[in-house]
Structure formats: C-alpha cells, structure tokens
C-alpha cells in the first residue's frame, strides 16, 4: 500500500459511498494520469519521436506551448495529441471501475479534464460537466458573438492519415512499421471554420477567447440543478486527482459545501495536495496515494 491507503481507510470510503444519497465526483488531471494517460515516457516517444529529434521537445505538455514554424507543423503535432488523449481509451480501467462504484447512485461529474474519458467509459453524458473544454471540439481562433464549436474527429483522422499513420485490425491508428511519418500536414487540411474559413483552434480554456457553447451552458445548468437538489442531503463530495492549478473550480467549492452541510462527507484522493480545512476534518478522508490502487481495492471488496 502507498501513503495512507490502509484497509481501514478503504473500508471507511466504501461505507461512505454506500451510505451516500448522492455522489458528486470532482475530477482533475491526476485521475487521467492514474488511468495511464502519461504525457512523457514510452507513450510520448512512440508518437512524437520526430518532434523530439527536430525540436528537442521532451513531453506532450511542453510541446503544447512550442512555437511551431507553420500551421501545417502545428496541426501535425496537435492532431496526434488530440487523438491520443481523446479518441483512445485510457490504458488502465480506472474510469470503468469508478463508474461501477457510482452505479445505481444519484451522481454527477464535475471535471477540469478535457479528454472525454468519462463518456468513453459509459458515464451518462447528462451527468457530466466538462468545465474547461473538450479535446474533441474546435472553435474559432477569434470567436464572435455566435458561440459555436465543431466536432473534430474526422478532421483529426484525416490529419493523421496524411502524416502516414495507419489503422490496425482494431481500427486504432499506429505508427507504421517502417517508422516513416511526416511531421506536417497538407495546407488543405489546416482546420478552418465552415462558415467563413477563419482559423480554428482547440476548444480549451486558455484565455478569454474560450467558447462556452450551448452544450457547455446546458451541462452547467444540469450541474447547478444537481447541487440544489442535494445540497442539504447526505452527499459525498469525491475529489479525485485535483491539484492546486485551478482549486476554485472543484477543491474550494467542495470544502465550502461540506462545511455548509453537516450531512455531507468530503473525500480527497491524490498524490500530494491532499488536505482539508480543520473545520471539516471530522467529516473528511484524505488519501495520499495512487487513485488506481484505491479504485482497485474498492472493486475487489465489492466483488468479494
């Protein structure tokens, strides 16, 4: 076991899940990391070795900020990153295990992740609020009054094929066996808005140009209705993999609501950034360690 992930604490968490009338899951980047979505190492080298050699980039995170010399090269990079982190299932069964744990409960998911893994794992899309965007959507680089986004799956696939990636028997794109790929796409595949031909970018909250489209506002409404319905009930605030980059979205509100509702309980699981205010310590469980380990142990207890 790692950190304070003891049998006693796992049993307490299992008890709180069982007793809860509702569960609000707050998910950050650490959850996807626990599921195997690493931005460096073997996964990076396999897909970005040519960018590593040409530009000295060492991981997907830093590569996302690199000033590529052309849009054709920029989109070669980003088509690969979008595909790997949006259109491929996570390597480890963290998300399906989490879904199994909340099955049959009133639940909702608030997440800052943009990889869409909740929906890929089978979570009800009516119970999801992706606050920071979605790798699967494009928006205009300079959006006007009309707040639109466009699905990008087909565009991303065409970019990959133009670089030389090929599908395997299961329909997943792979680096060809000879390792020959191109780190640029044809100019004709650079994504443009269908209405006026203006440049498109990812629908990610990076600055004040982020588009909150109709789907975003609908999900926000669903989230607030869930809060209103269960704010005074026996609700479990389950925070997974949330650090201190954007604590005002999940961490701080979870603390506040736990403090306001004496029937609620707060759980935080992460590697580091695991703490809570003294005011709610008696109704909190903070586990410092691997989320995948915790979910695996809960799954084993449920199946026993």
Pick the CATH number of 1-37+90-132+209-304 from 3.40.50.1220, 3.40.50.300, 3.30.420.40, 3.10.20.90: 3.40.50.1220
Give the pLDDT score at 1.
38
- Please state the φ and ψ torsions of residue 291, each to the nearest 5 degrees: -60, -40
Give the pLDDT score at 3.
59
> What stretch(es) of the chain map to CATH 3.40.50.1220?
1-37+90-132+209-304
Q: Are strands 200-204 and 173-174 parallel, antiparallel or unpaired?
A: unpaired
Query: SS3 of 237, please?
Result: strand
On average, the pLDDT of the chain sits at 95
Query: How far apart (Å, rounded) are the C-alpha atoms in residues 134 and 289?
Result: 27
Q: Which of 111-115, 128-132, 173-177 has the lowest mean pLDDT?
A: 173-177
Give the pLDDT score at 252.
97
Select from 246, 192, 216, 43 the least CA-distant residue to 129. 216
Q: Is the pLDDT of residue 266 over 70?
A: yes
For the CA atoms of the chain, what is the radius of gyration?
A: 21
Q: Is the pLDDT of residue 34 over 50?
A: yes
What value does the mean pLDDT take over residues 24-34? 96
Per-residue burial over 140-149, b = 16 or more CB atoms within 10 Å of its CB, e = otherwise: beebeeeebb
Q: Is the pLDDT of residue 164 over 80?
A: yes
Query: How far apart (Å, rounded) are the C-alpha atoms in residues 63 and 55?
Result: 9
Give the pLDDT score at 205.
95
Query: How far apart (Å, rounded) are the C-alpha atoms in residues 123 and 128?
Result: 8
What is the rounded (10 degree) CA torsion for 10, 288, 232, 95? -70
């Amino acid at each position: 076991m790692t950190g304070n992930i003891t049998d006693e604490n796992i049993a307490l968490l299992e008890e709180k899940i069982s007793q809860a009338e509702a569960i609000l899951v707050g998910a950050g980047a650490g959850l996807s990391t626990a599921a195997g979505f690493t931005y460096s190492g073997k996964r990076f080298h396999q897909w970005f070795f040519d960018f590593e050699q040409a530009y000295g980039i060492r991981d997907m995170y830093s590569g996302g900020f690199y000033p590529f010399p052309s849009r054709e090269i920029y989109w070669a990079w980003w088509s690969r990153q979008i595909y790997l982190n949006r259109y491929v299932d996570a390597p480890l069964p963290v998300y399906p295990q989490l879904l199994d744990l909340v099955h049959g409960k009133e639940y909702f998911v608030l997440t800052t992740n943009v990889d869409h893994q909740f929906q890929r794992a089978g979570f009800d899309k009516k119970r999801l609020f992706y606050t920071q965007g979605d790798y699967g959507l494009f928006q205009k680089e300079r959006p006007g009054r009309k707040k639109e986004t466009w699905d990008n799956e087909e565009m991303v696939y065409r970019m990959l094929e133009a670089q030389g990636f090929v599908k395997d028997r299961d329909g997943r794109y792979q680096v060809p066996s000879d390792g020959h790929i191109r780190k640029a796409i044809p100019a004709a595949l650079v994504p443009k808005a269908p209405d006026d031909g203006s440049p498109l970018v990812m629908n990610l909250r990076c600055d004040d140009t982020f588009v909150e489209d109709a789907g975003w506002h609908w999900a926000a409404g669903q989230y607030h209705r869930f809060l209103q319905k269960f704010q005074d009930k026996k609700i479990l605030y389950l925070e997974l993999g949330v650090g201190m980059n954007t604590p005002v979205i999940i961490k701080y509100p979870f603390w506040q609501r736990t403090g306001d509702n004496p029937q609620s309980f707060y759980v935080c699981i992460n590697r580091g950034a695991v703490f809570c205010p003294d005011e709610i310590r008696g109704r909190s469980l903070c586990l410092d360690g691997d989320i995948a380990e915790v979910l695996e142990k809960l799954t084993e207890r449920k199946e026993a």
